[in-house]
Chain A
Amino acid sequence: MRKLRDQLPKRAPLAASLLAAALCLPPIAPASAFVAFVSNEKGNTVSVIDTDSWTVTKTIKVGQRPRGIAYTRDGKFVMVAVGDDDTIQVIDAKKLEIVDTLPSGPDPELFAQDAAGKTLYVANENDNTVTVLDLEKRIRIGDVQVGVEPEGMMLSPDGKILICTSETTNMAHFIDTATRKIVANVLVDARPRYAEFKSDGSELWVSAEIGGTVSIIDPAKREVTGKIKFAIPGLRSEAIQPVGISLTKDGKTGFVALGPANRVAVVDGTTHEVKKYLLVGQRVWHMEFTPDEKYLLATNGVSNDVSVIDVAAQKVIKTIQVGELPWGITIAQP
């Protein structure tokens, strides 16, 4: 007994320090501390999410029907298209309040900005035009007539071509940014929602909500070279409605939000084969990577939350409650 007692003090500190070390180990490695802004279409608000704690830190009241949302290139402001107010509001990313508005055509939905952050191209859903804005002078500098109900907007990595998808005409319009003229129209499946380039400009992916496919377009030849189809066991094919697309910078992996299928498809960027379906909330819409590409955040419109996907593990790790009908999302360093 005495022996045991003699041994105790010697071993106890070791055991205690081991225990302390075990307790101090954080369950998850410290994250990156980015800030995500989520537009809530029905709640008329923008939710601000801290990507360290994965919590909503603030809810900002904005105009009617906020949808398209993006940081300015300098990271100082967040622009949000408020469709029913026919304008784009500018939120100060530090003060978290609206500081300005930008002119746009009626019912702006989505927009794209050039690499320098000087020109903004806005899809105006109701009058079939793309409005071109000068971001420095904050004035409208031109219009491009496109098909019916323009929505998806994406600039090619070299900035020479603007892609606009029109929901009802079922086309991806190729617009020359220098002349502001349509130079090609590529027919895709029914109701194209979104377009995304590979970062090297070698491929353009266009999602078709009703068609249930993603068309792979060769931007040089301007023709469809392949189609990604989706099938989830136990789900009707009508429930599979691809909308948002996010491609990793290396172009090896693509994520496609499948709307009411409540899944995000993980697609091999080279073979275009679907590798996996990740279960998220209801009616998953748009997605955005954190700048370090560790996480992908997806907005779930009907269940009013945002799902966080671990990109490397290809797993959904968390779902965060936000405002009513979350639609768009943008993420940057605060």
Chain B
Amino acid sequence: MTVTPVHAPPPARSGFTAGEYITCLTGIVWREALRFLHQRERFVSALVRPLVWLFIFAAGFRQVLGISIIPPYETYILYEVYIAPGLMAMIQLFNGMQSSLSMVYDREMGNMRTLLVSPLPRGYLLFCKLLAGTAVSVLQVYAFLAIAWFWDITPPPMGYLTVLPALILAGLMLGALGMLISSGIKQLENFAGVMNFVIFPMFFASSALYPLWHVEEGSPWLAFLCEANPFTHAVELIRFALYGKLNWVSLAVVGGCTAVFMIGAILAYDPSRGFVRRGPGGEA
């Protein structure tokens, strides 16, 4: 069974006005915002997850650090301070995967078809969707930072501003990755697989929970794996930006990965490829 488009696409136009692009963007962002507002549990759970790590996990691991000064920090720090950027990236990782879940949901419910019949370029539509998801994750991160402030995680005031571009870029990268993965998921139920095979390995094999020099002491092989993990670079980009500094290597890796995942997602959602995959196995 192949899916035929609901509407025949209108005759191709050479270009669209900026107004039309903006209408599309606000439409998608607004829908994402509404969905976010109506799912309070999602917001709460997005906050509770990192806070549990911060309050419970970090309390037991206080002794892990405090013996060396790791850039961008200029003095000794407590473990809570160390893992805060990692938890910020974790929020974005989960959010990226969750919006990929919503893509699967949209596809099953047919909303996506409404979106994809838009005459605007496919890549632009996906980018808007990505931007909407990123905006939500940035909001979640700032809510987390506000609570963490009371837990003595107090980066310099300017850091709250300088971290914004890093959060947007990291959010785009993780969102694009989620989008790429979602193109291969046929059912909502498969999301558990994403947890096991994407979120957990990415989160644990990174610099989010322990500095890489610490990992290297235990296993150089694992340290190499962490170094190659784009999530590590998302964490480091955020960590440096939060203290008003720029990590060029991480910026290059995150920027490059964003481009690759984005192009991958656009290709995967190409009408001639992406939807054809929905074979008889998928139950709608």
Q: Which B residues are in CB contact (< 8 Å) with A319?
A: 69, 74-76
Task: Produce 1/0 per residue, A227-240, CB < 8 A to B.
Answer: 00000001000000
Are A307 and B244 in touch, CB under 8 angstroms? no
Instruction: Say whether B66 contacts A262, CB under 8 Å.
Output: yes
| B75 adjacent to A316 (CB under 8 Å) | yes
Nearest chain B CB to A37's CB is how many angstroms away?
21
Q: A119-138 CB contact bits vs B (8 Å, 1 = yes)?
A: 00000000000000000000
Instruction: Write the nearest CB–CB distance from B95 to chain A, whole angstroms.
Output: 30
- The reply to whether B76 and A307 form a contact with Cβ atoms under 8 Å apart is yes
Asked if A60 is an interface residue, CB under 8 A from chain B, the answer is: no
Bound Cα distance A234, B75 (Å): 21
Inter-chain contacts of B78 with A (CB < 8 A): 279
Q: B158 contacts which of A27, A307, A308, A318 (Cβ < 8 Å)?
A: A27
What is the total number of residues of chain A having a CB less than 8 Å from a CB of chain B? 15
Which residues from 300 to 326 on chain A have a C-beta closer than 8 Å to any C-beta of chain B?
A: 303, 307-308, 315-319
> Which interface residue of B63, B69, B78 has the most chain A CB atoms within 10 A?
B69
**A317 and B74 within 8 A (CB):** yes
Of chain B, the residue at the smallest CB distance from A300 is: B76
Contact B77 A279 (CB under 8 A): yes
B62: Cβ under 8 A from any A Cβ: yes
Known A234-B62, A319-B69; judge A27-B75 contact (CB<8 A).
Answer: no
- Which chain A residues lie closer than 8 Å to B244 at the CB level? 27
A-B contact count (CB 8 A): 31
Task: Find residues 51-92 in chain B having any chain A CB closer than 8 Å to their own CB.
Answer: 62-63, 66-67, 69, 74-78
Q: How distant is A321 from chain B, measured CB to nearest CB, in Å?
A: 9
Q: Which of B134-154 contact A (CB under 8 A)?
A: 154
Chain A min CB distance to B155 (Å): 11
A-B contact pairs, 9 of them (CB 8 A): A27-B158, A27-B244, A234-B63, A279-B66, A279-B76, A281-B76, A303-B67, A308-B75, A319-B69
- Residues of B with C-beta under 8 A to A62: none
Q: How many residues of B contact A (CB 8 A)?
A: 14
Does A280 count as interface, using CB distance less than 8 angstroms? yes
Not counting A27-B156, A279-B66, A279-B78, a sample of 12 additional A-B residue pairs whose C-beta atoms are within 8 angstroms of each other reads: A27-B158, A234-B63, A262-B66, A280-B75, A281-B76, A308-B75, A315-B154, A316-B76, A317-B74, A318-B74, A318-B75, A319-B75
Collect the chain B residues with CB atoms within 8 Å of residue A307's CB. 75-76
Q: Which residues of B contact A315 (CB under 8 A)?
A: 154
**Per-residue 0/1 for A139-175: is the Cβ within 8 Å of any B Cβ (1 yes, 0 no)?**
0000000000000000000000000000000000000
Within 8 A of A (CB), among B178-221: none
- Supposing A27-B158, A27-B244, A234-B62 touch, asked if A282 and B67 sit within 8 A by C-beta, the answer is yes
B76 touches which one: A27, A234, A280 (CB < 8 A)? A280
Looking at the assembled complex, report how far the CB atom of A22 sits from the nearest CB atom of chain B, in whole angstroms. 10
Complex CA gap A319/B78 in Å reads: 14
Within 8 Å CB of B77, what residues of A? 279
A281 CA to B76 CA in the complex, in Å?
7
Please report whether the interface of chain B is mostly helix, strand, loop or mixed according to DSSP.
loop
> How far, in angstroms, from A307 to B77 measured CA to CA in the complex?
12
Complex CA–CA separation, A303 to B63 (angstroms):
16
Chain B residues with Cβ under 8 A from A308's Cβ? 75
Q: Nearest Cβ in chain A — how far from B273, in angstroms?
A: 37
**Alpha-carbon gap, A262 to B63, bound state (A):** 12
Complex: A217 Cα to B237 Cα, angstroms: 52
Q: Which A residues are in CB contact (< 8 Å) with B154?
A: 315
Which residues of A from 274 to 295 have beta carbons under 8 Å from B?
A: 279-282
Q: Please, how many angstroms separate the alpha-carbon atoms of A318 and B244 in the complex?
A: 15
CB neighbours of B75 from chain A (8 A): 279-280, 307-308, 316-319
Return B242 CB to nearest CB of chain A, in Å.
14
Among A236-273, those with CB < 8 Å from B are: 262
Taking the closest CB of chain A, its distance from the CB of B161, in whole angstroms, is 10
B15 vs chain A, min Cβ distance (A): 13
Q: CB-CB < 8 A to A282: which residues of B?
A: 67
CA–CA, A318 to B63, complex, Å?
A: 20
Instruction: List A contacts of B66 (CB < 8 A).
Output: 262, 279
CA distance A262 to B68 in the complex (A): 12
Which residues of chain B come closer than 8 Å to A279, judged between CB atoms?
66, 75-78
Give the distance in Å from the alpha carbon of A195 to the alpha carbon of B52 in the complex. 43
How distant is the Cα of A282 from the Cα of B77 in the complex, in angstroms?
12
Which chain B residues border A234 with CB–CB below 8 Å?
A: 62-63
Docked pose: A234 CA to B79 CA in angstroms: 13
Contact with B along A13-55 (1 / 0, CB 8 A): 0000000000000010000000000000000000000000000
CA of A308 to CA of B75, assembled, Å: 9
Q: Which residue of A lies closest to B76 (CB)?
A: A279
User: Which residues in A have their C-beta under 8 angstroms from that of B156?
Assistant: 27
Residues in chain A near residue B62, CB distance under 8 A: 234
A282 to B62, CA, bound (A): 15
A74–B78 CA distance with the chains assembled, in angstroms: 41
Complex Cα–Cα for A27 and B77 (A): 21
The CB with the most chain A CB atoms within 10 A, among B63, B75, B77, is that of B75
Q: What CA separation (Å) do A315 and B78 show in the bound complex?
A: 12
Contact with B along A207-235 (1 / 0, CB 8 A): 00000000000000000000000000010
Task: With CB as the reference atom, state the residue of chain A lying closest to B77.
Answer: A279
Chain A residues contacting B63 (CB-CB under 8 Å) are 234
Give per-residue flags for B214-255: 1 if the beta carbon is below 8 A from chain A beta carbons, else 0.
000000000000000000000000000000100000000000
> Which of chain B's residues have a CB closer than 8 A to the CB of A281?
76
What's the least CB distance linking B82 to chain A, in Å? 11
Which residues on A sit within 8 Å (CB–CB) of B69? 319
